[in-house]
A and B are shown apart, each in its own frame.
Chain A
């Protein structure tokens, strides 16, 4: 009996062992079968998803910490087609709230490709609309109504410009594909945009730590002063109306550092509606005329000619010149702006009365090699390197060029036949305002990344003239302004500057009725804190810059000293003596 019991037990144990081993073998077989690999790969599909992480685009602030380009949340509204229950209800609700027709939405939902499981109905939908849709979803959910099942919202960032049109020509804009165009947005696009990262995001909570941190784009702080920018834009807009000019540009720069404090130009556009670009501008060079449009600036170039002549010792302020009203250079007769002789003049008189004949004579006294060498050192014909996208180079013809003629020496001396951008003139003349050292104009004050601040140092672009020459010329320009009681003078502050009225070249020669009116000036002359360039295109009330650009300079200078807290010379000298 006992043996029988043992035998039965052994059979049972053996049988169970066989079954157990069979189970284990089957487990291994199933887990290593081809089907298992398919199931595993299918399982992996649900274990997580590849997701592209776009970093938040870096913000842009002005030098006082005002946000001038930020980000706001918008939503992509889509429908999961597998979960959709009622296409008519979905079409009706989305059509109503997304400003689309019932047919538009219905067509998208019904005629989507069969393989699609999700379809985007509309992107860049604002928060308010999405909140309204969410409320409807919630109400339906409370009532166990599934007619809007499948409706989903995916948030993402959109560039936003709180100041709308302010400094639009400087900032540029960002399109929906996240790329910056023009200005700061294009120049620093890589820094601002950051680096998008595509990663596998696991659904397994144990692997939550694997989700990478995507650093935001670099935040930029500009040298721009928002309040001054607003005032300068306002002055420019008023001036265009007052003088009937087509367009205009005003730049305010710190001549010691090259920091651009304000840069206003027309036309401007609301950056939040960047699609208006094609209605506002005909081509890219118009976007920011301060840097993108070269023109014949006229007599403001005389500052550079005189600087070169003083620096080489060709003339001194007291050098005498008898103006007969014309001079022959390269076989061509050059005349003054009024075609009149001005008699005996010293160099201050030549600048004060803006005598073409005198400056052409000065250039001929220097000779072509010296004159053009100085113009090259002043940066004419080369980009300044300003950190804004779309800078034009201008054109300086030099001896040896196929289109250079000997008369060009005389005409170039008073700014005819040479094209420059306003920013080029500012950089060149900064040498005069800054003791001979020329500064590179720039817009970036600091960068902020990962909690660290990187300040952008000022860069010098050479010293084309000596400090002594710079001081002498500053005095000459200051005296010449005071001598003619210029409209550019600012009570309480001693300023230096020069007008420039240039006829506009056409295919048939220069048009005497249409001019570009310019003015470049700086102050206070003993300690320059601002440098201003004004350019009015084709003013109608007067073609002369002394009657248009010069008073604008004074107005901008007035607002600049108020905004930057620059005391009048008398007050400053009193404090300085303490």
Chain B
């Protein structure tokens, strides 16, 4: 009885349709793995392309904003030019001061403030734009970082 059962199991294992199914299964597994990798690659590539496109658009936007900024700065300078301000002051009833009309007050430790343009220059060093590493590092570099430092960024 036991021998018969063993033979049936053996015959079942060696059945041609079963061997074929194993081959088909292996082939399908390979196809699925390849499909998964392809899908993953496609996804990453699509994301990367989207990010790249976004970068291109942002770069265009930056250029446009810089131009607009330059335009506005120049326009503001025109509106506050020496001749315009003098004209506006006269229209508002002001007149040039004379030396005898000035009172001087001694303020210990007073220092005249620096112009805005010079103050801005000092601050700009710490806020210069920088592209995040996600956009620049390769997969191997990312793995290397994770191996060395774990998950902590």
A-B contact count (CB 8 A): 119
Q: Other CB < 8 Å A-B pairs besides A73-B71, A448-B117, 14 of them?
A: A56-B66, A59-B73, A66-B77, A70-B70, A71-B70, A155-B67, A162-B81, A209-B52, A226-B82, A227-B82, A450-B125, A451-B122, A451-B128, A565-B104
Contact flags B71-105 to A (C-beta < 8 A → 1, else 0): 10111111011110010000000000101001010
Question: How far apart are the CA atoms of A162 and B104 in the complex, in Å?
Answer: 33
Interface assignment of B56: CB less than 8 Å from any CB of chain A: yes
Q: How long is the Cα–Cα vector from A70 to B80 in the complex, in angstroms?
A: 14
The answer, yes or no, to whether A322 is at the interface (CB within 8 Å) is no
Q: Is B118 in contact with A221, judged by CB distance below 8 angstroms? A: yes
In the complex, per-residue mask of A201-227: 1 if CB is within 8 Å of any chain B CB, else 0? 000111111010000000101000011
- Complex CA gap A417/B51 in Å reads 74
Contact B99 A558 (CB under 8 A): yes
A453's nearest neighbour on chain B, judged by CB, is B121
When the two chains form their complex, are residues A70 and B77 in contact, meaning their CB atoms are under 8 A apart?
yes
Residue in chain A with minimal CB distance to B106 = A575
Binding site for B on A (CB under 8 A): 56, 59, 61, 63-68, 70-73, 127, 155, 157, 160, 162-164, 166, 204-209, 211, 219, 221, 226-227, 229-230, 446, 448, 450-453, 491-492, 558, 561-562, 565, 567-568, 571, 575, 578
B125: A residues at CB distance < 8 A: 450-452
Across the interface, A56 reaches (CB within 8 A) one of B53, B70, B97, B136, namely: B70
Task: Assess whether B55 is in contact with A209, with CB atoms less than 8 Å apart.
Answer: yes
Nearest CB in chain B: distance from A556 CB, A: 13
Assess the B55–A208 pair: CB atoms within 8 A.
yes
State the CA gap A441–B115 with chains docked (Å).
22
Task: Give 9 A-B contacts (CB < 8 Å), ordered by A residue.
Answer: A59-B73, A67-B77, A70-B74, A162-B78, A208-B55, A209-B55, A221-B115, A229-B82, A230-B86
Q: How far is the CA of A578 from the CA of B45 in the complex (A)?
A: 75
What residue of chain A has the Cβ atom nearest to residue B118's Cβ?
A: A453
CB pair A71–B82 under 8 Å, yes or no, is: no
Contact in complex: A491, B52 (CB < 8 Å): no
Residues of B within 8 A of A (CB): 45, 48-53, 55-56, 59, 66-68, 70-71, 73-78, 80-83, 86, 97, 99, 102, 104, 106, 115-118, 121-125, 128, 131, 135-136
Q: Contact check, B104 vs A567: say whether CB atoms are below 8 A apart.
A: yes
Q: List A contacts of B55 (CB < 8 A).
A: 205, 208-209
> Quick one: given A56-B70, A73-B67, A562-B102, are A204 and B52 in contact (CB under 8 Å)?
yes
Residues of B within 8 A of A65 (CB): 115-118
Separation in Å of the A49 CB from the closest CB of chain B?
13
Query: Is the Cβ of B104 less than 8 Å from the Cβ of A71?
Result: no
What is the minimal beta-carbon distance from A24 to any residue of chain B, in angstroms?
A: 18
- Expressed in whole angstroms, the minimum distance between the Cβ of B20 and any Cβ of chain A is 13
A230 touches B83 (CB 8 A): yes
- Ranked 5 nearest A-B pairs via Cβ: A65-B115, A451-B124, A205-B52, A162-B77, A67-B77
Contact B83 A166 (CB under 8 A): yes
- Find the residue from B75, B102, B117 having the highest chain A CB count within 10 A: B117
Please determine whether A562 and B97 come into contact, CB atoms closer than 8 angstroms: yes
- The answer to whether B70 touches A72 (Cβ under 8 A) is yes
Task: State A205–B49 Cα separation when bound (angstroms).
Answer: 5
